[in-house]
A and B are shown apart, each in its own frame.
Chain A
Amino acid sequence: MNYSMIFYIIGWILNVEAVLMIPSVVVAALYKEKSGVAFAAVIVFSAAAGLLLVRKQPKNKVFYAREGCVTVALCWIIMSIVGALPFVLSGTIPGIIDALFETVSGFTTTGASILPEVESLPHCILFWRSFTHWIGGMGVLVFLLCLLPLTGGGYHMNLMKAESPGPSVSKLVPKVQSTAKILYGLYILLSLVELVLLLAGRMPLFDALCTMFGTAGTGGFGIKNDSIAGYSVYLQSVITIFMILFGVNFNVYFLLSMKRPKEAFQCEEARWYLGIIAASTLIITVFIRGMFPSFAMAFHHAAFQVGSIITTTGFATVDFDLWPSIPKMILVMLMFIGACAGSTGGGIKVSRALLMFRSVTRELSLTLHPKMVRRIKFEGRVVEHEVLRTLHAFIAAYILIFAASTLLIGLDEFALVTNFTAVAATLNNIGPGLELVGPTQNFGLFSDFSKLVLIFDMLAGRLEIFPLLLLFNRETWRKF
């Protein structure tokens, strides 16, 4: 294990986080809020610690998958702890576990909150809360890759692999560093377009910024107690469209920007993703038709909720906990499917769901014709056995963690639906679940222990389980 390299990268993360907190101080200054002091203190602390760690480049740049995973997992944990300090220091969320839950929920773009109401919070705190979504959406280490003045040593790919969602990482251009730059470029561009469209709908700048952060990172922290319900239909529609856009594999945007639309439209995952959204929206519209004055409004709200859940954003325009059973069940299923790989969304990912489905159909034909040769294809290419093996292990780990978490938070004596959807909503990085953790409720009712379990779930969901599990494996820390 190359500790010097790991600490070096952690140092950079602390520096980057210090820089990323500066906008919150600016916000505090503009609104003349005292909480800005808390941010300033954390910035000084974080930058001091960071600069201490990056004083000199490590000589030994050897960096393997093991280091990659450990670095990413540690970075996310440290980043969350530092990110939680302003909440505690400013006194807005005095409990340490509560503050950590809120920050992890932000960075992992979950959007689950322990706050019963948010409108009384200082602006700078609200801003930081939403801004963590935007940072966490594309990934901090990917961001760091654009900046780090290191070359060689193979750390790029191993970091990228550990942080990027999806069954396999594809590079857009030969260099990882350039790939990271392109991804961030597209991310910023899309965010700006949304911001402009929101401002065009007469949303106040502060609201527009925070809502944009929540949408782009597919996070879901609202700055209003009723989430998005208070905004106009135009704004809700813009948010619907951008939630869905941010859930698409960024490769598609890259191909579009390279003027290769034909390849972009052939992206199998994106087509399935859009197909699932269309089908679910239509079915739900039919079932909730009676609850709204017109078919159009029913369709509008169905689309918003479907988009919000499948991309794992977690905004809400209505309390879907009051909907009939079938629409609710569809939403719960969408929670698990999640967005596309290579997007900012969470969940199992459409590509994994597709591969799983194809594995099952292949198994069926192999049962009928035991000697049959049938290789699984995806995006027009044969899927290697190793990819499928990792996929199956991922699903197994996912189910195990899911079951264990549900069991552990069961200690709090809540009903099954609450426990089940609370875990589903955190492990898939969505935010709201059903019943006691529904869209109008919050996670404040759980005990500290349950919150820790859910914090673990959020991190596991965002980092796709294995990097986090590796931290708890004795083998990882052994020298030999």
Chain B
Amino acid sequence: MKIIIVGCGKVGTSLAERLSVEDHDLVMVDLSAKKVEEASNRFDALGIVGNGASFNIQQEAGVENADLFIAVTGEDELNLLCCLMAKKSGKCQTIARVRNPLYSQEIRFIQEQLGISMIINPELTAAREILKLLKFPSAIKIDTFAKGRVELLRFRLKKEMGLGGRSIMENMNRLKTDVLICAVERDTEIAIPNGSFVLQDGDILSIVGSLQSTAQFFEKIGVRTKHVKNSLIIGGGTIAHYLALDLLKIGFRVRIIEQKKERCDYLNEILPGADIINGDASDQNLLIEEGLTYADSMVALTGIDEENIFLSLFAKRHSNAKLIAKVNKIAFNDVIDSFDIDSLIYPKYLTADYILQYVRARQNSIGSNVETLYKILDGRAEALEFSIKEESSVTGVPLMDLNIRDNLLICCINRNGTILTPRGQNKIRVGDTVIVVTTHRGLRDIRDILKN
């Protein structure tokens, strides 16, 4: 596909990084010559210096035969204008980043009336992601497939769960559960395990299953899926704003600690149900006084990564809260991982992921039949959802008779809304959607799961 990206900021570059790997033709547009130069060198893209909303610049970038136009500059209005212009001067799909909460309430109208294919709001995406985690606090990360019927959960194996030291087969027979362990991370290694794989405490497992079966699984291994009913949010930025709105809607008690007085006043105005505390969260006394010890969850969303991490570490010592920390820079991530903070949120990556999913879906509607695609385990593996539209070499054959690639696992078959955990004798039928986890890249069709 030919893709034009306007804006070479954080999101623009991380998007380009992912897209260039997948062999798309990229054109990067930005006002800053230095940024364009840097980006075009790094990602093997064509760089154009100029205002992306200008007709001439768009012509130069080749908007006429582009498939996708993505505007991710720092300004909402500029992004929207870019997309409007691109829509008129070419026939491409358009994606705009709009982050102002004011517009986000009118997102549907903007999207429909201006004919923009997708509007992405990084803060809103991050808030939704945090919300998912708070609803299911045992998990580090949650992705959903099959319109939310299937979950992919990532969690750390602890000693008290009693799974370590046994093979997967043994464990599954003992627990009689329907979930499937689809990936195991140990140190920096990642494995797509088969039944004889022996688990160890400290491994990070990814499991796939229906909503009920994952809940049952956690119950059986003794993780009380405690309900999070309140949240202490540190830092009253835009993510906190969206998050608090959603949390209040589902009946959470929300307390936000924010340093700036004016911001506090504003938050209090728009979030009447939340307690807004004006203070410095690096003051331990304040955190304890505001009930950190008894909080069900703490979400650190200040602008400084280091502070978020330290706050989470402090909270880990003083409470049993589910901890979520926002990290903007990805540097040192293996060090951060070793701290064992429950969940980390990378807003920049979420945005890129989100756009990437759309790109893949677009591409699939042209060439392949991938319904959803997640980069999981920090992008080291993919979970793909295929829809089976026609008979082929994989359909109608029991799975054990298929010659499936190594490092690939069929996790789930969704047959008219019923979730099947595949066994050797199951067959794939037309009309199913199938979820596959693999470390291979670039699977386009269900037939790609077979060895050549």
Contact = CB atoms under 8 A, between A and B. Distances in A.
A480 B232 contact: yes
A64 B293 CA distance: 14
Interface residues of A, number: 6
A19 interface: no
B128 interface: no
A479 interface: yes
Contacts of B289: 64, 66
A480 B295 contact: yes
A62 B296 CA distance: 20
A66 B253 CA distance: 19
Contacts of A479: 291, 294
B288 A480 contact: no
A258 B192 CA distance: 81
A464 B295 CA distance: 31
Contact of B296 (A64, A66, A478, A480): A480
B294 A62 contact: no
| Most-contacted residue by chain A among B253, B255, B289, B296 (CB, 10 A) | B289
B230 interface: yes
Interface string A187-219: 000000000000000000000000000000000
Nearest to A66: B289
B288 A62 contact: yes
A479 B294 CA distance: 6
Could you tell me the dominant secondary structure of chain B's interface residues?
mixed
Interface in B225-258: 230, 232, 253, 255
Interface residues of B, number: 10
A66 B291 CA distance: 11
A480 B315 CA distance: 14
Interface string A11-29: 0000000000000000000
Contacts of A64: 289
Interface string A55-77: 00000001010100000000000
Nearest to B231: A480
A360 B296 CA distance: 46
A478 B255 CA distance: 13
A261 B354 CA distance: 75
Contacts of B296: 480
A479 B293 CA distance: 9
Contacts of B291: 479-480
A62 B232 CA distance: 19
Interface in B99-149: none
Interface in A455-479: 478-479
A12 B294 CA distance: 27
Contacts of B288: 62
B110 to A, nearest CB: 38
Interface in A423-480: 478-480
Contacts of B295: 480
A66 B285 CA distance: 13
Interface string B240-283: 00000000000001010000000000000000000000000000
A62 B291 CA distance: 12
Contacts of A478: 253
Interface in A36-85: 62, 64, 66
B320 to A, nearest CB: 12
A480 B291 CA distance: 5
Contacts of B255: 480
| Most-contacted residue by chain B among A64, A478, A479, A480 (CB, 10 A) | A480
A66 B294 CA distance: 15
A66 B289 CA distance: 9
A338 B232 CA distance: 43
Nearest to A64: B289
A295 to B, nearest CB: 60
B256 to A, nearest CB: 13
A64 B291 CA distance: 11
Nearest to B295: A480
Contacts of A62: 288
A480 B253 CA distance: 8
A445 B81 CA distance: 80
A64 B289 CA distance: 7
Contacts of B294: 479-480
A479 B229 CA distance: 12
Contacts of A480: 230, 232, 253, 255, 291, 294-296
A410 to B, nearest CB: 35
A64 B284 CA distance: 13
A378 to B, nearest CB: 25
A247 to B, nearest CB: 36
Contacts of B230: 480
B360 to A, nearest CB: 41
Contacts of A66: 289
A480 B295 CA distance: 6
Interface string B289-302: 10100111000000
A238 to B, nearest CB: 48
A62 B294 CA distance: 14
A479 B230 CA distance: 10
A358 B288 CA distance: 38
A478 B230 CA distance: 11
A371 B232 CA distance: 39
A479 B295 CA distance: 8
B137 to A, nearest CB: 15
A478 B253 CA distance: 11
B146 to A, nearest CB: 35
Interface in A83-119: none
Nearest to A63: B289
B148 to A, nearest CB: 29
A478 B229 CA distance: 13
B175 to A, nearest CB: 34
A480 B288 CA distance: 10
Nearest to B294: A479
B234 to A, nearest CB: 14
A335 B288 CA distance: 42
Interface string A245-275: 0000000000000000000000000000000
A479 to B, nearest CB: 4
Nearest to B255: A480
B292 to A, nearest CB: 9
Nearest to B232: A480
A386 to B, nearest CB: 12
Nearest to B286: A64
A32 B295 CA distance: 59
B34 to A, nearest CB: 48
A62 B293 CA distance: 11
A70 to B, nearest CB: 14
Nearest to A475: B275
A430 B297 CA distance: 49
Nearest to B321: A480
B281 to A, nearest CB: 16
A62 B318 CA distance: 13
A420 to B, nearest CB: 37
A42 B230 CA distance: 45
B76 to A, nearest CB: 36
A100 B276 CA distance: 41
A119 to B, nearest CB: 53
A480 B289 CA distance: 10
Nearest to A60: B293
A480 B319 CA distance: 12
Contacts of B253: 478, 480
Nearest to A154: B285
Interface string B200-236: 0000000000000000000000000000001010000
Given A480-B291, A480-B294, 10 more contacts: A62-B288, A64-B289, A66-B289, A478-B253, A479-B291, A479-B294, A480-B230, A480-B253, A480-B255, A480-B296
A-B pairs, 5 with minimum CB distance = A479-B294, A480-B291, A480-B294, A480-B230, A64-B289
Interface of A: 62, 64, 66, 478-480
14 contacts: A62-B288, A64-B289, A66-B289, A478-B253, A479-B291, A479-B294, A480-B230, A480-B232, A480-B253, A480-B255, A480-B291, A480-B294, A480-B295, A480-B296
